Amino acid sequence: MPDANEALKVVEPKDVALRMRLDYSHGMKDHTTKVIEEIAGLCAKAKQVNLDLDSFLKDTADIISRLFGIASVAIAVWDPALRAYKFRIATGIGQEGTQLYKNMSFTKEQILDDRTYPCYEISKQTKLYLSEDHPYVEGQESTFARPALIGMKRRSLSDSLEADYLCVFVKGSDDEILGWFEISGTRLRKLPDVTAIKWIELIACILGAVIHPK
């Protein structure tokens, strides 16, 4: 039979709060919780008065790579002085590829040129570029981590080939493109799943608030 004393036990409010606080700080954390915590940390950095943009972009690239198993991440932003987009950060590739990224610049017309960079629209914010369509110009092969593997055959719908990449655009008001994340490859050699893409789109929205023209 149930213990009568147990049935009449009253829980104190402070114990409820203590339990919730302990669970919040030290409870088991699934992947979703870890993603939320990392993004919350990024938001906190975004509110700094004297924000170092390059440091913030590096943190952003590292978070995307670490949380979603992305092999390489490059981030381009609009440079008003040059009137062009320039890559500020490139991670996960060799020194030659990193330097090549930083030497490249793009006009607004070039980044929307689907003839030179054929692609598939995944959402209003994300485009997919597949290796078979040769979505790069001659000389840009070194921007990929393993250029010698370009040209391999795709064996399943989820396979990630060398020279596959996704562009997740950072947008401002009126859908103005302020920059983009270029993500290429995963450590499991599979294309990023939809959940990862949606999280990265959210991170792009945060960056948009940081770099939006004042």
> Quick check: 189 pLDDT over 90?
no
**What is the tens place of the pLDDT at every residue in 112-134?**
888 889 999 999 999 999 999 98
Q: How would you write the chain as a 3-class SS string?
A: CCCHHHHCCCCCHHHHHHHHHHHHHHCCCCHHHHHHHHHHHHHHHHCCCCCCHHHHHHHHHHHHHHHHCEEEEEEEEEECCCCEEEEEEEECCCHHHHHHHHHCEECHHHHCCCCCCCCEECCCCEEEECHHHCCCCCCCHHHCCCHHHCCCCCCCCCECCCCCEEEEEEECHHHCEEEEEEEEEECCCECCCHHHHHHHHHHHHHHHHHHCCC
* pLDDT (0 to 100) of residue 2: 58
CATH number of 30-211: 3.30.450.40
* pLDDT (0 to 100) of residue 60: 97
- With pLDDT > 70 as the criterion, what percentage of the chain qualifies? 95
pTM: 0.87
